[in-house]
Amino acid sequence: MAISIVEVKKIAKLARIDLSPTEEKRHAETISAVLDYMKILNEVDTAGVEPTAQVTGLCDVVRQDVARGSEITKELIAAMPSVEDNELVVPAVFE
Domain boundaries, the chain: 5-42
In residues, how long is the chain? 95
**CB count in 10 Å sphere of residue 27:** 19
**Tens-level pLDDT at each residue, the chain (95 residues):** 789 999 999 999 999 999 999 999 999 999 999 999 999 999 999 999 888 888 888 888 888 999 888 889 889 899 999 999 988 899 889 87
Tell me the pLDDT tens digit for each residue of 83-94.
999 888 998 898
Query: What local confidence, expressed as pLDDT, does residue 70 receive?
Result: 86
Coil, strand, or helix at residue 83? strand
Pick the CATH number of 5-42 from 1.10.20, 1.10.3470, 3.40.1710, 1.20.1730: 1.10.20
pTM of the model: 0.50
Phi then psi for residue 80, to 5 deg, are: -75, 140
Query: What local confidence, expressed as pLDDT, does residue 57 receive?
Result: 84
Strands, E assignment, 2-85: 83-84
